[in-house]
Structure 1
């Protein structure tokens, strides 16, 4: 779980990891930059995010 309040988080992941995001946002959000989930990847990260006046950047 990642929570932001008046700030932000940069999350860097390797290319061989898939990510599934569930988020609850209020004047903020989660940005997924140029990532594609690939079927052959077996590693999965489940992200539960809460953003209030802030954001999460996934690169």
Structure 2
């Protein structure tokens, strides 16, 4: 399998520039949502899909 040379020593002790040095951490779960969402509509699934396709076609025409 010729994927080029691989030297594990190159993978050790690599310096990473991060915001942790500044005391600022990134919280990837800050905007997680763990609730329920319900949508009530009088439109059928077919009607909703037709409307979605219309919206997609409109956006393609604007390009």
For the superposition of Structure 1 and Structure 2, which TM-score range results when normalised by the shorter chain? Answer: under 0.3
Higher-RCO chain (CA-CA 8 Å, sequence separation at least 6):
1
TM-score w.r.t. the length of structure 1 is 0.23
**Structure 1 or 2: more helix by fraction:** 2
Larger Rg: 2
More strand by share: 1
TM-score by length of 2: 0.22
